[in-house]
C-alpha cells in the first residue's frame, strides 16, 4: 500500500523541474523612491520637505558660526541645563563645545559599560536634550542614519525628550540604496562591529494606543535638524 508520503514524493519526482528557474538578475535596479533633483540643493529641498512632513523641524544655515548660534539658540529654547552629547569631533560644527560650556550647560557623554552604570543613569536621567551628528541623511524619506561607535553613544538619540541633530549638506544622499553603497565603501566590517544602527525619521511615535498617533513614547518627542551649508 502506497503511503501518503510516497505519493507526495512520487509526484515531486515525476516533475522534471518542480520549481521554475529564477529570472536572471537585472543589470540595474529601478529605484524604489523617487528623487527628481539629484543636485545638492535639490536633495536638501526634498530632505527638508519630508522632514517637516514627519513633524520634525529643520533649520538651514550658512557656515560654522551660524550653525553654532542656531544650536545654542535651540538649547536655550528648551531651558537646557544638561545635554547628552556625542564627542564633539563627530558633530560638524567648530567651537560648538566651547559655546555650550560658555552658556553654563553641563555636557554629559555617558559611558555605560563600567560598574558605575546605575549612578550614571541617575545623573543623566533629567537631561533635556540629546545633541549628535549623523552618519548620512536620506533625502527620499527624510531619514537620518546614526550608528554607535567610539564617542557616538546611543543614549543621546533616545533618552532625552528633544534630539538635536547636526549635519552638513554633503551628508545628504538620494536614497537608501546610496547609503548601502556608501556603507560598502566604508567597509562592511565596520557595520558588523557596531552594536547599533538607527534610522530616524522624525520624532518617536506610535499608534498602538487606540490607533491614535502619540509622539514621544519610545524616544524623543521633538526632533530638530540643523543643516550646515
User: How far is Cα 47 from Cα 170, in angstroms, rounded to an integer?
Assistant: 12
Do 226 and 164 form a contact (C-beta atoms < 8 A)?
A: yes
Buried/exposed code over 110-133 (b: 16+ C-beta within 10 A; e: otherwise): beeeeeeeeeeeeebeebbbbbbb
pLDDT digits (tens, 9 = 90+) for 138-161: 999 999 999 988 889 888 998 899
Per-residue confidence band for 210, with pLDDT thresholds at 50, 70 and 90: confident
User: How many other CB atoms sit within 10 Å of the CB of residue 151?
Assistant: 14
Q: Within a domain: residue 6?
A: no
Q: What is the pLDDT of residue 18?
A: 56
pLDDT, the chain, mean: 88
Q: Within a domain: residue 18?
A: no
User: Which domain CATH number covers 85?
Assistant: 3.40.50.10420
User: How far is Cα 32 from Cα 34, in angstroms, rounded to an integer?
Assistant: 7
**Residues, the chain, total?**
229
Q: Report the pLDDT averaged over residues 194-209.
A: 84
pTM: 0.82
Q: Within a domain: residue 136?
A: yes
**How many domains in the chain?**
1
More confident residue, 136 or 5: 136
Cα–Cα distances (Å) from 222 to 42, 87, 97, 112, 225, in that order, read 25, 22, 22, 24, 10
User: How far is Cα 95 from Cα 81, in angstroms, rounded to an integer?
Assistant: 19
pLDDT digits (tens, 9 = 90+) for 179-200: 988 888 877 666 677 778 899 9
Do 93 and 228 form a contact (C-beta atoms < 8 A)?
A: yes
Q: Within a domain: residue 28?
A: no
Residue 225 in this model has a pLDDT that exceeds 80: yes
Q: Within a domain: residue 4?
A: no
Q: Report the pLDDT averaged over residues 162-184.
A: 93
Q: Within a domain: residue 19?
A: no
Q: Within a domain: residue 17?
A: no
Domain of 153 in residue numbering reads as 36-228
Residue 173 in this model has a pLDDT that exceeds 80: yes
Q: Report the pLDDT averaged over residues 163-179.
A: 95
Do 133 and 94 form a contact (C-beta atoms < 8 A)?
A: no
Q: What are phi and psi of 149, to 5 degrees?
A: 175, -175
pLDDT digits (tens, 9 = 90+) for 59-78: 999 999 999 999 999 999 99
Do 92 and 228 form a contact (C-beta atoms < 8 A)?
A: yes
Q: Within a domain: residue 127?
A: yes
Q: Report the pLDDT averaged over residues 48-58.
A: 96
Q: Which range among 24-28, 86-90, 162-166 shows the weakest confidence by mean pLDDT?
A: 24-28
Amino acid at each position: 500500500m502506497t503511503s501518503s508520503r510516497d505519493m507526495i514524493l512520487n509526484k515531486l519526482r515525476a516533475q522534471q523541474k518542480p520549481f521554475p528557474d529564477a529570472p536572471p538578475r537585472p543589470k540595474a535596479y529601478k529605484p524604489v523612491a523617487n528623487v527628481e533633483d539629484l543636485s545638492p540643493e535639490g536633495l536638501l529641498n526634498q530632505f527638508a520637505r519630508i522632514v517637516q512632513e514627519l513633524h520634525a523641524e529643520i533649520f538651514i544655515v550658512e557656515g560654522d558660526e551660524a550653525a553654532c548660534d542656531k544650536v545654542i539658540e535651540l538649547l536655550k529654547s528648551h531651558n537646557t541645563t544638561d545635554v547628552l552629547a556625542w564627542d564633539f569631533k563627530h558633530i560638524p560644527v567648530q567651537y560648538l563645545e566651547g559655546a555650550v560650556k560658555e552658556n553654563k550647560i553641563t555636557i554629559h557623554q555617558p559611558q555605560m559599560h563600567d560598574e558605575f552604570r546605575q549612578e550614571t543613569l541617575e545623573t543623566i536621567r533629567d537631561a533635556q536634550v540629546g545633541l549628535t551628528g549623523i552618519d548620512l541623511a536620506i533625502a527620499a524619506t527624510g531619514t537620518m542614519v546614526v550608528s554607535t561607535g567610539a564617542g557616538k553613544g546611543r543614549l543621546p538619540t533616545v533618552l532625552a525628550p528633544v534630539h538635536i541633530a547636526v549635519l552638513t549638506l554633503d551628508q545628504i544622499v538620494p536614497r537608501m540604496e546610496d547609503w548601502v553603497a556608501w556603507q560598502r565603501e566604508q567597509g562592511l566590517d565596520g557595520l558588523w562591529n557596531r552594536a547599533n544602527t538607527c534610522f530616524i525619521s522624525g520624532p518617536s511615535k506610535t499608534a498602538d494606543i487606540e490607533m491614535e498617533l502619540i509622539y514621544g513614547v519610545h524616544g524623543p518627542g521633538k526632533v530638530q535638524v540643523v543643516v550646515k551649508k
